[in-house]
Amino acid sequence: MFFKKKKQQNTVSDADSSSDTSPRIAPKPVSPVVLPIIKHGKNRQRGTGGMVVGKDLSSRVVDIVIYFILTIALFVSIIPLWHVLMASVSDPKQIAFGIGNTYKWGVVWWPVGDGLHFEGYEYIFKDGSIFRGYLNTIIYVILATGIGMVINILGGYVISRNIKAKGAITIFVMFTAMFHGGLIPTYAVIKGLNMTDTIWSIVIPGCTNAFFVIMLANAFRTVPESTIESARIDGAGHMRIMWQILLPQALPLATVVILNSVILQWNSWMNASIYLSSSVNDLWPLQLIVRELSAKSEQFIGSGRPNYALFLVRYTVIVASTLPILCVFPFFQKLMETNVVAGAVKG
């Protein structure tokens, strides 16, 4: 009985095996394909497949020309600053009369005289006007940047929205960038508003310009319209959309506008020289005080007993006025580059 069952099972298995007539193909082993290594230099392989890494002759020539031009631009930018710095700590008499090898190619390459001379720095810092100028300039920068950013954000928001007067407002803003009313009409307006000899004559006229408004308008346009519609459905008005929806997403370009506004206000002196008279010299910004001290230093030779240290004032005031920006700007340079690129590639 046992042998019969086993025989039946063998018969069934043989039938199944005989019915399966499909050929069985064994998988072939796959060996990894190794691409040839492309070497650099003279032994670099060409035409062997893969991606050729390296630059051809024309690209190298272009790189050399670019580096050469940038090197020249670097020296042209640094040499004046270096000349002013070296002259500010040199012997004032040798600087005034050019004794010996003081100037080579018109530049003071190293401090001349016996040791370092700090008479010019002592003179300007003994005069309290330089510190008052620092304080006034900081106040003007804060006020002008703050008021200007409010105007830039409001104007940029209006131009970025689809309103009926959008074209007319844009033309009006761009018109102010291309054409100016002139010095005398502007002075007449400021004087008619009783703003002369006040801090507002420095803060208001230069707090913003058309380019800052257009930059923020373009930044606001990069925000998806669906985001704004969602905020409106949730009950948000114009002010909430502008300050809580658009501005945070346009913050990179807003940062660039703020930094540029700070630099422009720090270096500004033209408005102060026009709207602030000598009777209110306690309101003068730093750059106007620098110009005044430089003008006084040019008259030192006319006195009976000239103080040659005054000749260094023209150099020391430049160092004192530009040093804060030179120290602070490198920390924001990367931020400015990143945000300008971020604003340029959106949209």
**What count of Cα atoms within 13 Å lies in the side-chain half-sphere of residue 174?**
10
Please identify which residue in the block is written with the tokens 């193909």: 25
pLDDT in tens, the chain (347 residues): 444 444 444 444 444 444 445 556 655 665 555 555 544 555 554 544 445 455 678 888 898 999 999 999 988 888 888 888 888 888 777 777 666 666 777 788 887 777 788 887 887 788 778 888 889 999 999 999 999 999 999 999 998 888 888 888 888 888 888 888 788 888 999 999 999 999 999 999 888 888 899 889 988 988 888 888 888 888 888 889 888 888 888 888 888 888 888 888 888 888 888 999 888 888 899 888 888 877 776 666 555 566 677 777 778 888 888 888 787 777 776 666 665 555 444 44
Q: What is the radius of gyration, based on Cα positions, of the chain?
A: 36
For residue 251, give both structure tokens.
Answer: 């913050």
Please identify which residue in the block is written with the tokens 């007539």: 21
Distance of CA 183 to the CA centre of its chain: 29
How far apart, in Å, are the Cα atoms of 199 and each of 113, 211, 284, 289?
43, 24, 9, 15
b/e 33-66 (16+ beta carbons within 10 angstroms → b): eeeeeeeeeeeeeeeeeeeeeeeeeeeeeeeeee
Which sequence spans correspond to the domains of the chain? 57-117, 120-345
Predicted local distance difference test score (pLDDT) of residue 141: 92
Nearest to 345 by CA among 253, 239, 210, 207: 253
Residue type, 59: S
Answer positive or negative: Cα dihedral of 331, 337, 340, 343. negative
Residues contacting residue 183 through CB under 8 Å, at least 6 positions apart? 274
As a whole number of angstroms, the distance between CA 241 and CA 243 comes to 6
Predicted local distance difference test score (pLDDT) of residue 236: 87
CATH superfamily label, 120-345: MetI-like (1.10.3720.10)
Nearest to 124 by CA among 331, 317, 318: 317
Distance of CA 1 to the CA centre of its chain: 99
Predicted local distance difference test score (pLDDT) of residue 72: 93
Residues contacting residue 49 through CB under 8 Å, at least 6 positions apart? 35, 36
Beta bridge partners of 104: 107
Q: DSSP per residue over 132-147, as a string?
A: HHHHHHHHHHHHHHHH
Predicted local distance difference test score (pLDDT) of residue 144: 93
Is the Cβ–Cβ distance between 207 and 154 less than 8 Å?
A: no
